[in-house]
Amino acid sequence: MTAADTARPARKARTPRKPRDRVRKASFTQALNNALDLAMDKHAEMFLIGEDIAEMGGDFGVTKGLLAKYGPERVRDTPLSEAAIIGTCAGAAMVGMRPVAEIMFADFIAECYDQVVNNVAKLHYMFDGQFKAPLVIRTACGGGFGGGPHHSQSVEGWFLNVPGIVIVAPSNPIDAKGLLLASIDSDDPVLFLEHKALYRSRAEVPPEYYTTPLGAAAVAREGADVTVVAAMRMVPMALEAAERAAADGVSVEVVDLRTIRPYDAATVLASAAKTGRVVVANEAPRIGGLGAELSARISEECFAELRGPVVRVDGLDAPIPFSVPLEDIVLPGTDDIAAAISSAAQY
């Protein structure tokens, strides 16, 4: 305190702030917004591009306030032209820019699938390393809110078979920020999946610049009897199912993939070998999806350690209906993971 402060007339005593207010929790959306802000500040060659991201701040508010701070050249609204959005990112990246695109809903990526699969993912390879594609495609995916067949899909399976693309899929606000900053720093093209059901989840997100490594899974909960491998919204569901299983005396380990392609096989296989019982949980339809890949890989490489078959939890083999009771039938939930844990634990 300075002398001037002490000279002021005494004020009415205030209620002291609660200590927890100083570490206010940030939402997943705020964490992403903060990451974009920090990255725009760090990378002069970075720009944001997408539909309604500027004045409106994006359909989910992830780019809110960035137009005012960085201007319309670097926070760029587009018409409904998904292919042109991703093509613009690819071309700009070829000359050393670092664009971050928002595709409003992951379902709309079908509109620019050619750009992602045939252009962005192959730029570095097919031209013999002469170009890089340091771009990020952020998109809102996943169901559970009555969005219907074209606003609810989990699209990671559409890209699992595409060498050259990186698929990042955070499950919580702290990872969301660190993974987005790492994705923007990366010289590889990243498909960054933001599960809509997670946007409102909150955590104590460090305010400073930090990165969470790409291609590295996290053990979200340690356990000895059953491993659950999951990503995005399946992770909080798996943690809840693990809590229930603990009450029944089953110790569950939850592996959060965080990066889906290239995924951290070492962490997955080590956990599978340790517990010998594995559940893979995935929101997309079963056939040809992430669960199929993980199940096959674990079965191939941990055959001797497995006590029973790998159990898959997936969406049903159907589009996602609008009516919420129907959607609940099609999409997997905590009960399904809990049932799969019980099934795996029998062996």
Partner 1 sequence: METPTLLGLYRDMWLIRAFEQGLEREFEKGNVPGMLHTGLGQEATQAALAWHLEATDTFFPDHRCHGINALAQQRHGGNGERIMAELFGKATGVCSGKGGSLHSADPAVGNFGDNAVEGSYMATVLGVALAAKMRGQRRVACAIIGDGTVGRGEFHESLNMAAIWDLPVLYACINNGYAISMPVGEGHASADIVDMVQGYGFECRQVDGNDVVEAWTAVGSAVEHIRSGAGPCFLEFKTWRWQGIFAGEFRPEAEVKYWKEERDPIMLGAEALGERGVDHAELDSIELGARDVIEEWIEFALESPAPDPDKATADVYVGWEVSSR
* Binds partner 1 (CB under 8 A): choice among 23, 68, 81, 347: 81
Decide if 150 is catalytic. Answer: no
Binding string to partner 1 for residues 23 to 62, with x set by CB under 8 A, is what? Answer: ------------------------x---------------
CA distance 231 to 254: 10
Q: Which of residues 130-189 bind partner 1 (CB under 8 A)?
A: 130-132, 163-164, 166, 186-188
Cβ proximity to partner 1: between 30 and 88 the closer is: 88
* Binds partner 1 (CB under 8 A): choice among 88, 153, 154, 271: 88
Among candidate residues 37, 124, 46, 40, the one with its CA nearest the CA of residue 89: 46
* Binds partner 1 (CB under 8 A): choice among 73, 208, 300, 317: 73
Helix, strand, coil percentages (3-state) for the chain, rounded to 5, are 40, 20, 40
Q: In angstroms, what is the minimal distance from the CB of 153 to partner 1?
A: 21
Cβ proximity to partner 1: between 213 and 319 the closer is: 213
Q: In angstroms, what is the minimal distance from the CB of 343 to partner 1?
A: 34
Structure-token pair, residue 21: 């207010």
Among candidate residues 156, 110, 106, 104, the one with its CA nearest the CA of residue 314: 156
Phi-psi region of 174 (alpha: psi -120 to 50; beta: other; left: phi over 0): alpha
Start-end of H helices in 162-233 = 173-185
Catalytic residue among 43, 124, 150, 151: 151
Instruction: Examine residue 108 and tell whether it contacts partner 1 (CB under 8 A).
Output: no
# residues near partner 1 by CB under 8 A: 42
Cβ proximity to partner 1: between 71 and 207 the closer is: 71
Cβ proximity to partner 1: between 83 and 339 the closer is: 83
3-state SS, residue 311: strand
* Binds partner 1 (CB under 8 A): choice among 97, 270, 330, 339: 97
Q: In angstroms, what is the minimal distance from the CB of 65 to partner 1?
A: 21
Cβ proximity to partner 1: between 65 and 72 the closer is: 72
* Binds partner 1 (CB under 8 A): choice among 23, 24, 41, 114: 114
Cβ proximity of 49 and 88 under 8 Å: yes
Q: In angstroms, what is the minimal distance from the CB of 117 to partner 1?
A: 9
Part of the chain binding partner 1 (CB under 8 A), chosen from 94-102, 170-178, 201-209, 246-254: 94-102
* Binds partner 1 (CB under 8 A): choice among 37, 59, 61, 94: 94
Among candidate residues 229, 202, 283, 215, the one with its CA nearest the CA of residue 26: 202
- Measured CA to CA in angstroms, residue 48 lies from 137, 181, 332, 344 at distances of 10, 14, 34, 45
Strand duo 136-141 + 75-77: pairing? unpaired
CA distance 340 to 346: 10
Cβ proximity to partner 1: between 186 and 282 the closer is: 186
Q: Which of residues 185-224 bind partner 1 (CB under 8 A)?
A: 186-188, 214-215
Beta strands in the chain (DSSP E): 26-27, 46-50, 75-77, 98-105, 136-141, 166-168, 190-195, 202-203, 218-221, 226-230, 252-256, 259-261, 278-285, 311-315
| 7: Cβ contacts below 8 Å, ≥ 6 apart | none
Instruction: Examine residue 125 and tell whether it contacts partner 1 (CB under 8 A).
Output: yes
Start-end of H helices in 74-172 = 82-94, 113-114, 123-126, 156-159
The set of catalytic residues is 151
Residues in touch with partner 1 (CB under 8 A) = 47, 73, 78-79, 81, 83-84, 86-97, 99, 114-115, 118-119, 124-132, 163-164, 166, 186-188, 214-215, 262
